[in-house]
Amino acid sequence: MLLFRRKNRIKVTIFYNGDGGYKAMATDGKLGVYNCYGSTKEAAKEMALFKLRKFQEEQTPDE
């Protein structure tokens, strides 16, 4: 018998901020982060993914 675990998909949304920067939010369906700012789209995306990853680690109980 084989068991496969589906990898969690992460949705990232990026908005243009009026100050010339970008704002991003990321969610995995259960947890989400928002107000992640960056000077480029890539920087805002990386900040959102970093914050989500840290938040997921805090919410996961240590085994």
Give CA–CA dist 37/49, Å, rounded. 12
Quick one: pLDDT at residue 9? 86
Q: Apex CA 47: angle with CA 33 and CA 20, to 5°?
A: 100
Give CA–CA dist 58/61, Å, rounded. 8
Give CA–CA dist 63/60, Å, rounded. 9
Chain position carrying tokens 């789209």:
41
Quick one: pLDDT at residue 40? 94
Average pLDDT of adjacent 10-residue blocks, the chain of 63 residues: 60 91 92 93 94 88 63
Backbone torsions φ then ψ of 47, nearest 5 degrees: -65, -40
